[in-house]
Copies of this chain bind each other. A is one copy, B any other.
Amino acid sequence: MPATADNPDAMFQTAADHAYHVIREKILSGEFKPGQKLSRRGMAAETKVSVIPVIEALHRLENDGLVESQPRWGSRVLRLDDRQVRDFTCLREAVECQAVRMLAGRLDAVQENTLRTLAAEIDQKYMSAREDPKLWEVHYQFHLNLVVYTGCDSLVAALKRCHLFNLVQKATQRAGSKTKRLPPDWHLRIVDALVAGDPRRAHDIMEGHVRDSLDPQDQKAAR
């Protein structure tokens, strides 16, 4: 199904792209709930394409970490349990701590400036009373940039997986349970530690940061 005038959603190149984006959007919007079975024919009907592009789309989603499959059984939306929360927290800690160790004392001027601007915006938004929907977007931008600056694609890919998991979590679970108080320089201190240049100190600060950013009920699950 190439792009046609009567199907504006199909502006993507291939039918597989179309199915991929449709299914992904329905997962991230919460319409497809975690653990739900995604049958190939069902998805084909849902996305108005044939089975084969659906298979391709499901594979890409599995590669993204949004769906999990078993041979001879099918695919389902990624399940969210305590084990997964702990799992992705470990991975995020591994990736981000590695990133700050690599970057300590190596940021160039523009990188430092970018991070500092983002950190200031996050900390300010976080301290303000009302919820800013852009907060988590900027927050992700900050952490993503941090890892991108390492130049290590594997680390970036791993962090993106963690982020997708968080998106699924936010899409399905309780909204706005965050009453935890965090220091006003929650993110700026990370930038300061990076500029200071001591990898161990930067590591310690980031490690604490990642563990602090867990919701209290998840913190217990993470041990």
Q: Is the CB of B56 within 8 A of A86?
A: no
Contact partner of A200 (CB less than 8 A), chosen from B93, B152, B200, is B200
Contact residues in B for A91 (Cβ distance below 8 Å): 152, 154-155, 158
- Which residue from chain B places its CB closest to the CB of A94 in the assembled complex? B98
- A153 lies within 8 A of chain B by Cβ: yes
- Which residue from chain B places its CB closest to the CB of A90 in the assembled complex? B152
Q: Please, how many angstroms separate the alpha-carbon atoms of A14 and B13 in the complex? A: 30
How many copies of this chain sit in the oligomeric assembly? 2
Contact partner of A59 (CB less than 8 A), chosen from B17, B59, B158, B200, is B59
Q: Please, how many angstroms separate the alpha-carbon atoms of A59 and B102 in the complex? A: 32
- A62 lies within 8 A of chain B by Cβ: yes
Q: Is the CB of A13 within 8 A of B72?
A: yes
A86-110 interface bits toward B, Cβ cutoff 8 Å, 1 = contact, 0 = none: 1110110111011000100000000
Q: Is the CB of B98 within 8 A of A90?
A: yes
Contact residues in B for A56 (Cβ distance below 8 Å): 55, 59
A87-B154, A90-B155 known; 14 new pairs, CB 8 Å cut-off, are A17-B71, A52-B55, A55-B55, A55-B56, A56-B59, A59-B63, A87-B152, A87-B153, A90-B102, A90-B150, A91-B155, A94-B95, A97-B98, A154-B158
> Which 6 pairs across A and B sit closest by C-beta, in order of nearness?
A94-B98, A91-B154, A90-B152, A59-B59, A94-B94, A87-B154
A interface list, Cβ under 8 A from B: 13-14, 17, 52, 55-56, 59-60, 62-63, 71-72, 86-88, 90-91, 93-95, 97-98, 102, 150-155, 158, 161, 200
